[in-house]
Chains A and B, each alone.
Chain A
Amino acid sequence: MITAGVDSGAQNVRTVIMKDGKVLGKALAPAGRDARGAADKAYDVALNATGLAREDVQKVFATGVGKRDCEFADGDTGDLQACAKGISFLMPNVRTVVELGAEAGSVFRINHSGEVIDLTVNEKCAAGAGIFLETMARALETEVEKMADLYDQSKKKITLYAHCAVFAESEVVSLVHARTPKSDIVRAVLCAIAVRVASMIRRVGIEAQVAVIGGVALNIGFIKALEEELNVKITVPKDPDYISAIGAALTAAD
């Protein structure tokens, strides 16, 4: 059975086309001002990659904050359910899931059958969310993708005192003015987020394996900082930002 999953997030819309538990194609489009158009675009690009047409897909399920904007979907599923479904299908041994998107983050524990048993959500504060990383990258005139390398180059551990993303931006600017090496500031930024996320994780409790998913999981520097903070090995699945979309496609197949 061929199904599709659409994850309409705060910043990007991601789509996957799946057949019998295998991903055939995937695509991403920035949500921008037109979430509907973005969903259409991401869907068509993903289809193109597979050589399939819309008629070949038997069922489409949407998830994410903009799931109702996806007009071609046959149904929708909750963000949390989609994440849990996706991760437990791909990595059945994962018990603690950290999902970090652009604006919201959640940590939840799942049992062997993929049911959520405990959960904590942050959608109030940008500290600990993906947008924090982007703001900091801008203040440092670097890119999120380069953060991992800079993290490795850091020779000195410094602490970022501000909790708030807005205040942290000013603090980073002050550090730049004080000629602090960029690598040390990047490490401070990544460690600061790791501390926030770690406190969320501790709230629900850590049970191995621990997986990080969502767009922020692509930042290897952050994963390293989080491993250091928690002293726990962290697993990142392939395409960690598509887990919700995969979960939605799997739900469509049920």
Chain B
Amino acid sequence: MPGKPEFWRWPESRWRNKEIDWTKGRIITCGIDVGSISTESVIMVDGELYCYGSVRTGSNSTNSAVKAFNKAALHTGLKLENIHFTVGTGYGRVNVPFGNRSITEIACHARGANWMYGPRVRTVLDMGGQDCKVIKIDEKGKVIAFLMNDKCAAGTGRGMEVFADLLLIPIQDVGETSLNVEEDPPPVSSTCVVFAKSEATKLLRAGWTKEKVLAAYCSSMAQRVVSLIERLGIDEDFAITGGIAKNQGVVQRVTKKLGIAACETKWHNKEYTSKGFPFDTQIAGAAGAALFAKTLAEKEGRTNESQLRV
């Protein structure tokens, strides 16, 4: 629909570490996380974060994977043939045309969270576009157990997008807006997003402010996520990844209900922090994939030296 503002539409993004000259790298790896809503691509040079891109997943996973790669590699001169190893992950992982291997998003998020937040993390909550996962991991980022909801939009980013559109509030502002209430109202009682939407419409008619309605929805979403976490059990440190990790309205309510604080969204790698690298919780899966790609490239001898020798 032309002209109609799309409040759910979050901005696509890109970042590059200008200190790295990839042509001097030994192993260049790429992780592509083709999710149902967004596709992320992370490129690493010798295991160091070089660049990443995040785009909206289109109706065609293959195109989305290429788009995400191009977004990350823009202005770097990097081409697909320069990448030694690519690992695809996420729900469209088998559709990454240049992927050398595909690995489940559970494993990749676990590894990515371990790399981003550090080895003390034992429970990862990944709140994505169309699913929500709780993953228990060890100090190396290996998966011990997990639980996942991918059947129902309640408790996922997609549900939040529906509400952003209903209330005409840009998706990035939803979390903050929902915290703008004196006291949390009772959570929206419907589980189903479709029913919650009609419930919200009734609340608005009854005179509730948008802030209050959002607070009620964020709170019901938090409740749902917490019940998933409690079913698996939680060990600290507790880290949150995925797009919804950026929504303070949900994050604060989840941690409050759990009575456990979440890790600060800060790099375990102090150098990254001091250099001001952006800490984007949405790239955890793709970062994990790029790390796996590095291990696999080494194992299979796909590095710059080996290519020179050939």
Contacts and interface: CB of A to CB of B under 8 A. Distances in A.
B59 A124 contact: no
Interface stretch (B70-78, B152-160, B298-306): B152-160
A164 B192 CA distance: 8
B141 to A, nearest CB: 29
Interface in B204-242: 205
A173 B158 CA distance: 14
B261 interface: no
Contacts of A173: 59
Given A124-B192, A173-B59, A166 B153 contact: yes
B192 A177 contact: no
B130 interface: yes
Contacts of B205: 33
Interface string A156-197: 000000011111001001100110000000000000000000
Contacts of A33: 205
B130 A167 contact: yes
A166 B191 CA distance: 12
A166 B59 contact: no
A132 B193 CA distance: 12
Interface residues of A, number: 19
A147 interface: no
Contact of B162 (A10, A166, A178): A166
B192 A125 contact: yes
B59 A164 contact: no
B109 to A, nearest CB: 20
B193 A166 contact: yes
A166 B59 CA distance: 16
B198 to A, nearest CB: 7
Contact of A131 (B36, B151, B158, B194): B194
11 contacts: A103-B198, A126-B192, A135-B194, A163-B151, A164-B151, A164-B152, A165-B194, A167-B130, A170-B158, A177-B59, A178-B59
Interface of A: 10, 33, 103, 124-126, 131-132, 135, 163-167, 170, 173-174, 177-178
Interface of B: 36, 58-60, 130, 151-153, 158-159, 162, 190-195, 198, 205
7 A-B pairs with the lowest CB-CB distances in the bound complex, closest first? A166-B153, A126-B194, A177-B59, A174-B59, A164-B153, A163-B151, A126-B192
